[in-house]
Amino acid sequence: MYRAAVLTVSDRSFRGERPDAGGPLVAEILKQAGYEVACTAIVPDEQPQIEAALCRIADATDVQLLVTTGGTGFAPRDVTPEATIAVCDRLTPGIPEAMRYASMQVTNRAMLSRAQAGIRKGTLIINLPGSPKAARENLEAVLPAISHGLEMLSGVPADCASLSK
């Protein structure tokens, strides 16, 4: 079983003006997929605070997967991708590419997502949209392959060619 964390990026949810719908949904999807959700948190759309939360969670909570929700669009305050890039050691472009591809089957607005994914030490960080519907669609598109990525990240020898879909 892998340990996961969910970080919601939302000014309104952080201030308590709007309940966080995306974070709890993502946490539930992860639990149903067999992940232990070790922590959840909410931060405002402020790049330094997002970066600090990503570092704190990835470095101090022993999670292998850190999923963010929110802040991936075109709005001036949407800076989750920049924060993710700033704290990652290596980017994993195939994950957001796959999410955008899957989401394009639903709406052409998927091309407007700026979501990123990357590795910080032993933690895989994935950005999801803030919309619960879009977060579900994006996470479900990549979740089947994520456990294999986490297995490789942990150093367990893995033969990618011998695995089926």
pLDDT digits (tens, 9 = 90+) for 101-110: 999 999 999 9
What residues form DSSP beta bridges with 4? 37, 65
Q: Which two tokens stand for residue 136?
A: 């579900």
pLDDT above 70 for 139 = yes
Q: Is 81 exposed, middle or buried (0-12, 13-18, 19+ CB in 10 A)?
A: buried
SS3 assignment for the chain: CCEEEEEEECHHHHCCCCCCCHHHHHHHHHHHCCCEEEEEEEECCCHHHHHHHHHHHHHHCCCCEEEEECCCCCCCCCCHHHHHHHHCCEECCHHHHHHHHHHHCCCHHHHHCCCCEEEECCEEEEEECCCHHHHHHHHHHHHHHHHHHHHHHCCCCCCHHHCCC
What is the rounded average pLDDT of the residues 12-38?
A: 97
Work out whether strand 36-43 and strand 123-128 pair parallel, antiparallel, or are unpaired. unpaired
Q: What is the pLDDT of residue 158?
A: 61
pLDDT digits (tens, 9 = 90+) for 34-44: 999 999 999 99
> What is d(CA 123, CA 50) in angstroms, rounded to the nearest whole number?
16
pLDDT above 90 for 163 = no
What is the rounded average pLDDT of the residues 119-148?
A: 97
Task: Band the pLDDT of 162: cuts 50, 70, 90.
Answer: low
**Is the pLDDT higher at 17 or at 162?**
17
Task: Band the pLDDT of 155: cuts 50, 70, 90.
Answer: confident
What percentage of the chain exceeds 90 in pLDDT? 92
pLDDT digits (tens, 9 = 90+) for 43-101: 999 999 999 999 999 999 999 999 999 999 999 999 999 999 999 999 999 999 999 99
Asked if residue 156 lies in contact with residue 122, where contact means CB atoms within 8 angstroms, the answer is no
Task: Band the pLDDT of 125: cuts 50, 70, 90.
Answer: very high
Q: Which residues, 6+ apart, have CB-to-CB distance to 33 below 8 Å?
A: 143
